Amino acid sequence: MRIDVITIFPQYLTPLRESLLGKAIDRGQLQLAIHDLREHTTDRHRTVDDAPYGGGPGMVMKPDVWATALDAVVAASDPAAAPALIVPTPAGKPFTQAVAAELAGRRQLIFAPARYEGIDQRFVTDAATRMPVYELSIGDYVLAGGEAAVLVMVEAVARLLPGVLGNPESAVDDSFGTGLPGLLEAPSYTRPPVFRGLPIPDELTSGNHAHIARYRRDESLRRTAAHRPELLAALPPEALDAGDYQV
């Protein structure tokens, strides 16, 4: 997969080259390019924003500068990659694990993180005539800028790419994973067997795989009920098995 990010703060995206993603880049599983939006300004002050039409506080990012930057990235891309544009915004659709999985199936993603009051909406309207556009929110709160949202989304997408996780089963068994549709993962434990007087649950040392699986599923259901009751309420009846009804 190729990922392009257009931003006025290129340094903000440096963590994308660390850890798991850094290794994916080194192995050639992920290509990453960060572009400075200001390179596409035409005035002496390298202006990227202007006052909002209709009045109000704050500034709005200029559609012409963004469109020129996007056009340059698209022009330098492989047309067969059919890039999609991702616009982080608190006013977007929720970015979920299902959306991450959908994006992981694409060959190229171009991210457009904004600052100030966001980007003039005509940038999105115009881009949507040429490519798929996803306006996505990472949660019901407002950040100062979209770069942190890009870090979140790229990490969630990249760990789903083939070969990026050491064990692909990890993503299946994760909260919201395909092995646990609509549920949170059960708590995890490791050595020592007793920590500050707290033992690990007996079921996990039973060696009986069916018991362990049953225990983990029960804990998963309990945790989901405690932390995210709305997820449990939304589960279709067929997602539950006979043992679940004892929980």
Binding-site annotation: residue ranges: 138-143
Helices (H), the chain: 19-26, 63-75, 97-104, 121-127, 147-158, 169-173, 209-227, 229-233
- Is 168 an active-site residue? no
The residue (of 149 and 164) whose beta carbon lies closer to ligand SAM is: 149
Cβ at position 4, least distance to ligand SAM in Å: 16
Element holding 50 (H helix, E strand): strand 49-50
State yes or no: residue 63 binds ligand SAM (CB under 6 A): no
Coil/strand/helix, residue 119: strand
- How far separated are the first and last CA of the chain, in Å rounded? 42
Tokens found for residue 118: 């966001």
| Candidates 30-38, 136-144, 203-211, 215-223; binding stretch for ligand SAM (CB under 6 A) | 136-144
- Which residues are known binding-site members for S-adenosyl-L-methionine? 138-143
- Is 117 an active-site residue? yes
State yes or no: residue 83 binds ligand SAM (CB under 6 A): no
CA 27 to chain CA mean position, Å: 21
State yes or no: residue 161 binds ligand SAM (CB under 6 A): no
- Is 83 an active-site residue? no
Query: Between the CA of residue 139 and those of 15, 57, 60, 145, 241, what are the distances in Å?
Result: 21, 23, 22, 13, 31
- What is the number of the residue whose Cβ is closest to ligand SAM? 146
State yes or no: residue 91 binds ligand SAM (CB under 6 A): yes
* Active-site choice (173, 174, 218, 244): 174
The residue (of 30 and 138) whose beta carbon lies closer to ligand SAM is: 138
Give the residues lining the site for ligand SAM (CB under 6 A): 88-91, 113-115, 117-118, 137-139, 141-146, 149
Catalytic residue positions?
90, 117, 159, 174
